[in-house]
Copies of this chain bind each other. A is one copy, B any other.
Amino acid sequence: MDKKFKYSIAIHGGAGAIPKTVPEKDKKEYIYALKDILQYGKELLEKRHTALDTVELVVNKFEDCPLFNAGKGAVFNSEGRNELNAAIMDGRDRSCGAVTCVTRIKNPISLARIVMEKSPHILLCGDGAEKFAKQHGMKFVRNSYFFTQKRYDQWLKMKEKDITALDHSSDLTNSAKGTVGCVARDIYGDLAAATSTGGMTNKKYGRIGDTPIIGSGTYADNETCAVSCTGTGEEFMRTVAGHEIHSLIKYKKMNIKEALDHFTVKILKPDTGGLIAVDKYGDHAYSFNSKGMYRGSADSEGFFEVRIWE
């Protein structure tokens, strides 16, 4: 098949110390959800949707699924609320949009896209972002919409011990979850990336992680690649992960797999998490240095895979 018409997609649903002892039932549930979401994204690309539309719609599906830490199913902050973050980037012209600390937007990634398309700004925060959302007719929900019993119990236990944790690295729960993301290359050869998250359980002080930071948790440039990260956000911020992958490909002439492996082995602190990427040739890759990463990838050449551990 002509490279120009090759499409590919990669998704992730979080990374961390996912224990292999997770009950078979839970494991199946995650594998099923990942397969379903990956198939949905693959079909969008097959039906000639753009990479940008695809990553938004795929992340919408993740946000609506209570299994993952984004949208419905997001973790609770130290005040018992769900605070959401998201970013989207269009590789065609590096236009991008992001939101942080929003609490009443059903699909934060779609608000990020509207910020990208309808505002001169890139990153909007809290009440201001919601005011902007209202003016643009976004769907609002009560904060209680994001409630799930599992996340709430998780939070109560964390709060009791006054610890902050990634939603999935807590020993208090066997069901591992995390930030979600999608990267895609469409049949037109364009790239896009999207990431959405509820952050860390019991997080304090209005902490903003890597997800809404362009260049860190999310990055896309047609010249090189589209990237989405998951794990301990601070490490992806310090290393400017997304843009580092871009630089390794652009300036060090690494291929995408080499760039991702170099990054997780040589640059990223051990046990931090992982990332997914697609490049301008339609090649896709993932790499992680945590115990596991919920992930999947597929392309027009028939590849289709969903995994949690190695």
Contacts and interface: CB of A to CB of B under 8 A. Distances in A.
A251 B247 contact: yes
A240 B238 contact: no
Nearest to A203: B121
B244 A128 contact: no
Contacts of A144: none
A270 interface: no
B123 A237 contact: yes
Contacts of A125: 100-101, 125-126, 206-208
B243 A128 contact: no
Nearest to A243: B240
Contacts of A244: 243, 247
Contacts of A123: 207-209, 213, 237
How many copies of the polypeptide does the oligomer hold?
A: 2
Interface in A229-284: 233-234, 237-240, 242-244, 247-248, 250-252
Interface stretch (A7-15, A169-177, A214-222): A214-222
A217 to B, nearest CB: 11
A207 B128 contact: yes
Given A95-B238, A216-B215, A126 B126 contact: yes
A207 B121 contact: yes
B94 A238 contact: yes
B238 A96 contact: yes
A243 B247 contact: yes
Contact of A215 (B121, B131, B243, B252): B243
A18 B214 CA distance: 29
Given A121-B234, A215-B240, A100 B205 contact: no
A237 B132 CA distance: 20
Interface in A112-161: 119-129, 131-132
Q: A119, A131, A243 — which one has the most chain B CB atoms within 10 A of its CB?
A: A243
Contacts of A216: 214-215
Contacts of A242: 240
A126 B129 CA distance: 14
Most buried by B among A94, A127, A206: A206
Given A251-B251, A252-B251, A122 B238 contact: yes
In the complex, the 9 A-B pairs of residues with the closest C-beta atoms, listed nearest first: A128-B206, A251-B251, A215-B240, A125-B206, A247-B247, A128-B205, A240-B243, A123-B208, A132-B205
10 contacts: A119-B205, A123-B207, A123-B237, A124-B205, A124-B206, A124-B208, A129-B205, A129-B206, A244-B247, A247-B251
